[in-house]
Amino acid sequence: MDNPLGTSPDEVQFRFRDDEVVDHAAVTVDSCCDQTNATAVRIEPGDDARLLLPFLDRLALIEVNFPAFGDGRGYSSARILREAGFTGELRAVGDVGIDQLSHMRRCGLDAFAPDNPLNEEDAARAFATWENVYQATVDGRRTIPQIRHGAEQ
Amino acid sequence: MYKYDSYDQAMVDARVEEFRDQARRRLEGSLSEDEFKPLRLMNGLYLQLHAYMLRVAIPYGTLNSEQMSVLGDIADKYDRGYGHFTTRQNLQYNWIKLEDTADILADLAKVEMHAIQTSGNCIRNISSDHFAGASHDELVDPRPYAELMRQWSSFHPEFTYLPRKFKICVIASEKDRAAMRLHDIGVQIVKNDEGEIGARFYAGGGMGRTPMIAPMIRDFVPLDQLITYAEACLRVYNRYGRRDNKYKARIKILVHELGRDEYVRQVEEEFAHMLEQGVEPPLEEIARIKPFFADPAFEDGPKQVDRSDPDFALWVDRNTHRHKHDSYVSAVISLKPVGGIPGDATGDQIRLMAKLAKQYSFDELRIMHTQNVVLPHVKIGDLHALWTQLEAADLGSPNLDTIEDMIACPGLDYCALANARSIPLAQRISERFDASGKTEKLGELKLKISGCINACGHHHAGHIGILGVDKKGLENYQLSLGGSEAEDTSLAKITGPGFTEDGVIEAVDTVTDVYLDQRTGEERFLDTYRRIGMAPFKEALYG
């Protein structure tokens, strides 16, 4: 493959979607804004996710790269894309560990392609860490305050 | 005070289990130390010079006697019999074993306590006015709003890997007893011209190596938008705060580099967007929280004490604070005995304070950021009995806000970051000023000591500040004057070249002499400094 960017379907370890896995390389945010036919793009931590908003309809996959797990900008990027109505696949790639999974999921990431494959059992436990949650995000869960007051989401 | 419901309890229990699992994976080797470090830090576990240190969260500094008592028990069972109260209104244990930590967290969870987010690059324990709900001068009790923010900030999925730590303070009085403007975000609950309660926001304050006073970023945020606005402030920071240099990663640098106006513009833009997202908890939530902080059943009683015992009268004058009910005061238990370690208490002392809180203060205690303990609601008629028991336990030092009531960080005696020792200096200064009888003459004088540039001892905000540095392998101390963490926030200025340990003690003595010589009327040290400036002090020190 001449384009080194983008993970392949067999690198995706966890996926919470029923549609077909996107099977082609991603481009950078800059290229995505310049060319009209890309359907998959990769966001780096320093990229402004909002630059992609005009193109969300044609994108099937947005990869959010976490080169180092301690750099949390990707959480904001993911949530911003979901807030803008993106319904395609949001794939976390890079330095993704067990202990980031539940928060990533809450920020709208729904596929995970970690650099180092994770223990399946540990991951299943991690995804289920929080029976309930305090904050309203883009995962559609009713929050603890909403449950307390019988409010609709 | 606030009581967990089943949801709050489940969150803390889930975290204990999560940490148990992380510790297991670390011990099995599937987590490297590099990977484990940020996880243990988010549970308040640091590796220090000699041992692990565990920092327990005391949300907005409020706790009940059962919780306090458990803190004393943990000190005896897992530490060397001490707890150390911190400038974040928290408690640290300095001698903890890694293999005990999950059990300690489980003990804490039984009394609705935890060590969540007491460190790491996340939103830390929220601090507040230690006299909240008791003081005569507050608009409302700030703690319901702090509790709302505690829940919102706990395990926040977007803001767990921020550029750097993030400290929020909530107060509701014009009098600032919590160093509000030296926080990443400071919130003051205020009333607007229409008589509505809302929140005034400050952002970008902090100490550390680049101290900054937070500018106001919004005059009034309506209560039904409080969380949404905070979320906007954090998102702008998470996206654009610097990550290339940890010393420039706090929000103060972002606000400074963008400029306050540009930061505000970005926050307002994000805020307008977030308002569409429905992230605000229902307003009923604050109504649910408020009754937990309702006044206890105050009763009328004596309004004055019998002053025939001068030692008792001095303690009453120094260590009590005016209450909103005229038959009560808030009583401060000094953890600054002469020659002692600021903020340290033994397991027995901690349990005694718990017992006294139950007996005399409606079961409630507060931790001050100045490392003392408050019994917020004490009947004036009970003060003598209380003082007698405190005296017997070496907890009756009448030195609140005096030069003996120092803030000092753990320094090189414990801390892996420190360049110099803070504790022995604090001990020697209090001994010297107590012996010379000068403490009383000096009145209010806030001395703050940090053992390194990270400024955990708040030296920038001291009327007199001392900063320990490493000078060619020797401990050296810089002196600074004129800081304040109160509503008249200011940053202290360095006097000039630093001193040895003996030299800086002399220097503190010298600058207090200049004050005593130059003061007029009721001026405090800080007032005199502000009036006459640095020159006379410099002259006396180096002239």
- DSSP structure string for B424-450: HHHHHHHHHHHHHTHHHHH-S--EEEE
A73/B239 Cβ within 8 A = yes
Q: Taking CB atoms and an 8 Å cutoff, what residues of chain B touch A75?
A: 157-161, 238
> Hey, CA dihedral for B270, B276, B281, B283, is it positive or negative?
positive
Interface test with A, best of B28, B239, B279 (most A CBs within 10 A): B239
Residue (of B389, B428, B376, B437) closest to B406 by Cα position = B428
pLDDT band at A35 (very low <50, low <70, confident <90, very high): confident
A·B CB contacts under 8 A? 106
Interface of B with A (CB under 8 A): 5, 7-8, 10-11, 14, 18, 21-22, 25, 30, 35, 38-39, 121, 151-152, 154-162, 235, 238-239, 243, 273, 277-282, 284-285, 288
Is residue A15 within a helix (H) or strand (E), and if so which, with residue range?
strand A14-15
CA distance A126 to chain B (A): 8
Rounded (to 5) percent helix, strand, coil in chain B: 40, 20, 40
A134/B11 Cβ within 8 A = yes
Query: In the prediction, which pLDDT does A23 show?
Result: 74
pLDDT digits 0-9 by tens, B106-130: 899 999 999 988 988 999 999 999 9
| Count of other CB atoms within 10 angstroms of residue B542 | 11
Between residues B309 and B15, the one the model is more confident about: B309
CA distance B538 to B514: 10
Check: CB of residue A59 under 8 Å from CB of residue A86: yes
Residue A84 backbone dihedrals phi, psi, to 5 degrees: -85, 0
How high is the mean pLDDT of chain A? 91
pLDDT band at A152 (very low <50, low <70, confident <90, very high): low
Query: In the prediction, which pLDDT does A1 show?
Result: 40
CA distance B117 to B130: 20
Query: In the prediction, which pLDDT does B192 show?
Result: 96
Query: In the prediction, which pLDDT does A31 show?
Result: 85
Amino acid at A56: L
* Burial per residue of B244-268, b for 16 or more beta-carbon CB atoms within 10 angstroms, e otherwise: eeeebbbbbbbbbebeeeebbebbe
pLDDT digits 0-9 by tens, B449-490: 999 999 999 999 999 999 999 988 889 999 999 999 999 999
Q: Per the structure block, which two tokens stand in for B345? A: 């208490």
Q: Taking CB atoms and an 8 Å cutoff, what residues of chain B touch A122?
A: 21, 25, 30
Q: Per the structure block, which two tokens stand in for B132? A: 């909240």
Query: In the prediction, which pLDDT does A24 show?
Result: 67
pLDDT over 90 (residue B32): no
pLDDT > 70: what percent of chain B? 100
Q: Taking CB atoms and an 8 Å cutoff, what residues of chain A touch B279?
A: 135-137
Coil vs helix vs strand at B374? strand
pLDDT digits 0-9 by tens, A50-63: 999 999 999 999 99
pLDDT digits 0-9 by tens, B39-80: 888 788 988 888 889 999 999 999 999 999 999 999 999 999
Q: Taking CB atoms and an 8 Å cutoff, what residues of chain B touch A100?
A: 161
B38/A72 Cβ within 8 A = no
Classify residue B123 by its DSSP letter.
Answer: B
Residue A50 backbone dihedrals phi, psi, to 5 degrees: -70, -20
CA distance B157 to chain A (A): 4
B93 Cβ neighbours under 8 A, 6+ residues apart: B53, B54, B56, B74, B75, B78, B79, B82, B83, B84, B104
Q: Taking CB atoms and an 8 Å cutoff, what residues of chain A touch B254?
A: none
Write the ipTM.
0.96
pLDDT digits 0-9 by tens, B406-441: 999 988 888 888 999 999 999 999 999 999 999 999
pLDDT over 80 (residue B511): yes
CB-count exposure of residue B3 (10 Å: 0-12, 13-18, 19+)? exposed
Query: In the prediction, which pLDDT does A19 show?
Result: 92
Mean pLDDT of all residues in B91-100: 91
CA distance B363 to B380: 16
pLDDT over 70 (residue A153): no
Closest A-chain CA to B38: A70
Token pair 């020792």 is at which residue? B421
Looking at the partner chain, which of A97, A107, A134 has a beta carbon nearest the beta carbon of B158? Answer: A107
pLDDT over 50 (residue A2): no
pTM: 0.95
